[in-house]
Amino acid sequence: MTTADYTEKIPNNGDLHEDRRLQRALESWQPNFLHWWESMGPTLPTADVYLRTAVNVGREGWAHFDHVAMRDYRWGIFLAERNRGRRIAFGHHKDEPVWQKVPGEYRADLQRLIVIQGDTEPASVEQQRNLGAVAPSLYDLRNLFQVNVEEGRHLWAMVYLLHAYFGRDGREEAEELLHRNSGSAESPRILGAFNEETPDWLSFFMFTYFTDRDGKYQLGTLKESAFDPLSRTCEFMLKEESHHMFVGTTGVDRVVERTVQLMLEHDTDDVGPYGGIPLNVIQKYLNFHYSVSLDLFGSETSTNVANYFTSGLKGRWSEERRSDDHRLTDESIMVDAVTDDGGIGQTEVAALLGLNTDLRREYIGDCQNGVNRWNKIMESAGLPQRLRLPHVAFNRKVGAFAGIEAAPDGERISPEEWARRKGAWLPTDVDKTHVRSLMRPVHERGKIAAWIAPPRQGINGKPFDYDYVHLA
Ligand code: BYC
């Protein structure tokens, strides 16, 4: 594997210079990307930021830290090392060698999966663009920008695949990825959660905990793909993704920690007047971000996903560690459903049709770990309150429960009751106004906003009061 040469226009660890046509195509997309970054990326002007930049995919290569001027940031293209003996692990083509080119019959489906994945990356940068101006500390500001530049790089990763393997259609899709915008009325981003606002840092932490975690699971399934360049690309993206979820997990930790301190200090649940975020508001934000992220897995039963699996385009989470036949043609699975009597329950379907549910269940188990961790903070402080994941049917807009209303405990309720009670379960305007009122910038070294506890450690062994960002 070559180490990326940062004197090249497009740093990469492949052999981009050997394919002049591809190199030229990407070089002509690059100014459009930079224009998009200028107009839709982070709004806070900075001189430089302490960032991690990938220079290679090996253990050392992607942990290169330095102060970098954001406008000079270089987005590279990285694929995990090729395993020459790799074979397809599942589906109809199981045990055949993986593909280095796109088979004609799967071209449209593969392109669609790559476009959907690619669309989420710039969307999240757009959603987060104004957060720098209200960052609670320089440490958090640096983490925000790290997440943003890596999402930019993940867009590059998908655009590389579109340009390299999908011809003119791929190049047109790559342009479209810069034209759709999060929340736009005329040309919104493809998936629902990526058109929601991320107007405050509690939303940002919930987004990086719940929505980036969908990214982890979807990339995990694409890493299994029989299309080897997609697999190798996703494998490397997953390494970067773990930092994003770290930002979410520890971000919510620190909000809960500060809230708990204020609750004990003032002997009240209502920490709003003392500059904190009450636990019930944290729960409402959790309910919202969790439920919109559940929608990102598609319908409980899906012929799309059955076809993706059978064709070898998209596997299951930890495909190779599963002990079944990896074809699933004779198996069945229980999926969440509205039952014949109108209740919320489960129904049995062919395993292939239920693969979105299978992945969503892996994800839900992982989400629960964070909730347990946050609850330990309350437990250690001797408080009886606990956070909870709402029921899978709560606040869903996609799939089996899109047409019904359910309470967080999974009880089916009427639309009238939902309208009456939803303010107790999802953030209200009053909650959002309170959270936003706390979002005042703390851009001084070593200082932190009053609604969040400082982190236990800094980045890359640096202290919390390190000069992570120099503002312009
Ligand atoms: N919103 O058969 P169905 C990340 C559409 S996040 C709007 O149930 P399928 C990241 C669907 O497209 C990971 N539309 O679903 C995180 C289909 O349309 P068509 C992103 C939706 O196809 C944070 C129809 O409804 N990557 O990386 O089995 C920051 C019926 O769909 C939604 C991927 O998602 C929705 N929520 O599964 C940065 C991986 N859900 O075909 C980055 C690639 C469904 O009838 N995508 N629809 O026109 C996929 O694997 C699948 O397309 C989906 C949907 C899982 C999204």
Give yes or no for residue 114 CB within 6 A of ligand 1: no
Percent of the chain with pLDDT over 90: 92
Give yes or no for residue 469 CB within 6 A of ligand 1: no
pLDDT at 15 over 90: no
Would you state the pLDDT for residue 261?
98
Would you state the pLDDT for residue 233?
97
Q: How far is the CA of 330 from the centre of ligand 1 (A)?
A: 26
CB 280 within 8 A of CB 455: no
Using left for φ > 0, alpha for ψ between -120 and 50, and beta otherwise, residue 296 falls in: alpha
Testing ligand 1's pocket by substitution, the residue of 121, 304, 307, 367 carrying the most ligand atoms inside 8 A of its CB is 304
Tell me the CA distances in angstroms from 87 to 82, 95, 306, 340, one per residue in order. Answer: 12, 5, 20, 43
What's the mean pLDDT when you consider all of the chain? 96
Would you state the pLDDT for residue 2?
65
Residues 6+ apart with CB under 8 A from 133: 43, 44, 441
d(CA 105, CA 91): 15
Q: What does the pLDDT look like over 57-113, one tens digit per residue?
A: 776 777 789 999 987 888 989 999 999 999 999 999 999 999 999 999 999 999 999
Q: Is the pTM of this model over 0.95?
A: yes
Q: What does the pLDDT look like over 398-423, one tens digit per residue?
A: 999 999 999 999 999 999 999 999 99
CB 267 within 8 A of CB 314: no
| Predicted confidence band of residue 1 (pLDDT cuts 50, 70, 90) | low
As a whole number, mean pLDDT of residues 313-317 equals 98
DSSP annotation of 115: H
As a whole number, mean pLDDT of residues 127-142 equals 98
As a whole number, mean pLDDT of residues 111-135 equals 98
Would you state the pLDDT for residue 27?
95
Would you state the pLDDT for residue 57?
76
| Predicted confidence band of residue 345 (pLDDT cuts 50, 70, 90) | very high
d(CA 413, CA 396): 13
Ligand 1 atom at minimum distance from 305 CA = 28
Would you state the pLDDT for residue 70?
86
Would you state the pLDDT for residue 127?
98
d(CA 231, CA 241): 15
Testing ligand 1's pocket by substitution, the residue of 116, 237, 243, 316 carrying the most ligand atoms inside 8 A of its CB is 116
Give yes or no for residue 446 CB within 6 A of ligand 1: no
| Predicted confidence band of residue 168 (pLDDT cuts 50, 70, 90) | very high
pLDDT at 52 over 80: yes
Would you state the pLDDT for residue 286?
98
d(CA 53, CA 59): 13
d(CA 274, CA 353): 50
The 3-state secondary structure of 180-226, one letter per residue: CCCCCCCCCCCCHHHHCCCCCHHHHHHHHHHHHHHHHHHHHHHCCCC
Chain-centre distance for alpha carbon 312: 23
As a whole number, mean pLDDT of residues 352-361 equals 98
As a whole number, mean pLDDT of residues 3-27 equals 88
Q: How far is the CA of 166 from the centre of ligand 1 (A)?
A: 20
Ligand 1 atom at minimum distance from 151 CA = 38
DSSP assignment string, 340-370: TTS-EEEEEEETTTTHHHHHHHHHHHHHHHH
Burial class (CB in 10 A: 0-12, 13-18, 19+), 414: exposed
pLDDT at 3 over 80: no
Both structure tokens of 145: 């920008």
Residues 6+ apart with CB under 8 A from 12: 4, 76, 77, 78
Q: How far is the CA of 213 from the centre of ligand 1 (A)?
A: 14
Give yes or no for residue 230 CB within 6 A of ligand 1: no
CB 3 within 8 A of CB 62: no
